[in-house]
Amino acid sequence: MINAHLIIGATLLGSAYATTTSGSLTALTFNVAGLPSWLQSNDVNGSKTENAEEIGTYFSEYGYDIINMQEDFNYHAYIYDTDNHTYRTSTSGGAGIGSGLNTVSNYDWVDFTRTKWDECSDASEYDCLTPKGFTFMRWNPSTGVYIDVYNLHADAGTEDGDEEARNDNLQQVADYIDTWSIGNAVLVMGDTNSRYTRSADTGIRVFKSQNSLNDAWVELVMDGVYPTAGADAVVCDNPSTTETCETVDKVLYRGSSIVTFDATSFKYDGEEFLNTDSDYLGDVLSDHNPVLVDFSWSLSSSLRQSQFSGGPHGDWFSDLPNITSSSAASVLTFAGGNRLDSVAIELEDGTIFSHGGTGGTSVSLTLASDEYWIETELCTGTYNDETRNFYIKATTSAGNTIEAGTSTSSCSTFTADDGFAVVGFMGQDGDEVDQLALIYQAY
């Protein structure tokens, strides 16, 4: 019964399912100069309150799909008063309390977290005054499409202590990506306070060497050639009328084996964010150039994933890097009792993917050679104030079923696209299965 469950992973069209397989996105990163005026003027004319309201008005007018803000401190409410994006992070507080990092978007996300820097330096600035750091979210611009989005504001200044802290900041993000974004598309946008031309700014290059991220500016404007460390800086005007100069505000990205993710255009967008007050007509609203990048995305013809079920608890796992072109399920094994303890799938080549704990009653189903796992029901509930998966039911192409755990009133049905079947998992686990998404492969 279609109305009995939430059908996730496709759009219902008559009796068939059709997934959106490609699209385009607009992404903006903008340091909005929201430190209190008595602390820093940012050399920007006009009232910071009115400037913030105008920034929010521009956000609404342009409707960019995702906007990462830095220094969104004491004038945060004024931006949100005039912005109309559907999805918005809650502020973590003004200067001295919060990180100044916020995101507005046309699309929802899961697993939002804030992380404070391990190191800070007051060698030339007051970076330790407030808990700067980075945020993380799994952004969901289309069904079965997830991009791990990071927003950061690194330590400022060029004294030795600043350089050491900033390089540590960026290394901290790179290591986080290696832990929490295994197998995933990634988008890093923010104020890195780094320039490729600075010899001591080694941290900014770690995103390429360690995480295989592309810099949209380097790729689209500089023809893929990174500036030489130690060369003279090519500083941008504000607003900038050319893209060949370098700012500290960066947009870096990569795709995945599920989602091809490509930057298609790069622009310093400052001329679209100018003051309209008659006393300050044409003046900038921030001391930073906003950076706008257009992206295209497309789903793989051989790999897909479902939406997520459950909550953001436990350790991240993904079977995606270990799935080969010949992967096919042969045995399904689930364990559960009051909740879903574990899930496992054995492939025809003997590979076993298993996640969760060791508790519960175990059940198994062996599939025929031409039988595929195509439909999944997952039910969630709350245990110890955390959302977890309580129940799973798998249905195969032959109509066979296997289930474990305890059903709840909050259930979702995930259906593979035609010609696809479940071959693995991604999500978060501990002693149980906290969060789960299904990996599909074409057969």
Digit-coded pLDDT (tens) for 98-118? 999 999 999 999 999 999 999
Report pLDDT for 11. 35
Q: If you average pLDDT over every residue of the chain, what do you get?
A: 94
| Cα(9)–Cα(415) distance, integer angstroms | 6
Report pLDDT for 168. 98
Tell whether the model's pLDDT for residue 336 goes beyond 90. yes
Q: DSSP character for 274?
A: B
| Cα(158)–Cα(248) distance, integer angstroms | 13
Share of the chain above pLDDT 90, in %: 93
| Cα(334)–Cα(176) distance, integer angstroms | 30
Tokens of 52: 């913030």
| Cα(86)–Cα(336) distance, integer angstroms | 37
Give Cα 36 distance to the centre of its chain.
29
Report pLDDT for 16. 37
CA atoms within 13 A on the CB side of 77: 3
The β-bridge relationship of strands 410-415 and 6-8 is: parallel
Tell whether the model's pLDDT for residue 174 goes beyond 70. yes
| Cα(316)–Cα(312) distance, integer angstroms | 9
Give the count of beta carbons closer than 10 Å to the beta carbon of residue 99. Answer: 25
| Cα(184)–Cα(433) distance, integer angstroms | 20
Tell whether the model's pLDDT for residue 89 goes beyond 60. yes
Q: How confident is the model at residue 126 (pLDDT cuts 50, 70, 90)?
A: confident
Tokens of 184: 């995933």
Tell whether the model's pLDDT for residue 5 goes beyond 60. no
Question: Tokens 């969760």 identify what position?
Answer: 356
Q: How far apart are the first and last CA of the chain?
A: 27
pLDDT, tens digit (0-9, with 9 covering 90-100), for 187-207? 999 999 999 999 999 999 999
Tell whether the model's pLDDT for residue 162 goes beyond 80. yes
Report pLDDT for 6. 42
Contact assessment for residue 84 and residue 60, using Cβ atoms and an 8 Å cutoff: yes
Contact assessment for residue 381 and residue 309, using Cβ atoms and an 8 Å cutoff: no
- Please report, as a single letter, which amino acid is at residue 77: A
In terms of average pLDDT, the best of 123-127, 128-132, 397-401 is 397-401
Report pLDDT for 18. 55
| Cα(185)–Cα(149) distance, integer angstroms | 9
Query: What's the mean pLDDT in 31-51?
Result: 90
Tell whether the model's pLDDT for residue 130 goes beyond 60. yes
E strand map for 224-274? 249-254, 259-268
Tell whether the model's pLDDT for residue 8 goes beyond 60. no
What residues have CB less than 8 Å from 369, skipping those under 6 apart?
A: none
- Please report, as a single letter, which amino acid is at residue 189: M
Q: How confident is the model at residue 1 (pLDDT cuts 50, 70, 90)?
A: very low
Tell whether the model's pLDDT for residue 163 goes beyond 80. yes
Nearest residue to 188 (alpha-carbon basis) of 221, 211, 158, 222:
211
SS3 50: helix
Q: How confident is the model at residue 46 (pLDDT cuts 50, 70, 90)?
A: very high
Query: What's the mean pLDDT in 361-379?
Result: 98
User: Measured at the alpha carbon of residue 189, what is the angle toward residues 37 and 217, in degrees to the nearest 5?
Assistant: 110
Tell me how far CA of residue 78 lies from CA of 47, 53, 54, 303, in angstroms: 12, 5, 9, 43
What residues have CB less than 8 Å from 354, skipping those under 6 apart?
A: 333, 342, 343, 344
Dihedral angle, C-alpha 170, 176, 179, 184, nearest 10 °: -90
- Which residue(s) pair with 310 in the sheet? 435
Report pLDDT for 309. 98
Overall pTM surpassing 0.75 (yes/no): yes
Share of the chain above pLDDT 70, in %: 96
pLDDT, tens digit (0-9, with 9 covering 90-100), for 214-267? 999 999 999 999 999 999 999 999 999 999 999 999 999 999 999 999 999 999
Q: DSSP character for 235?
A: B
Contact assessment for residue 239 and residue 202, using Cβ atoms and an 8 Å cutoff: no
Report pLDDT for 95. 94
Query: What's the mean pLDDT in 377-403?
Result: 97
- Please report, as a single letter, which amino acid is at residue 190: G
Give the count of beta carbons closer than 10 Å to the beta carbon of residue 81. Answer: 11
pLDDT, tens digit (0-9, with 9 covering 90-100), for 317-334? 999 999 998 889 999 999
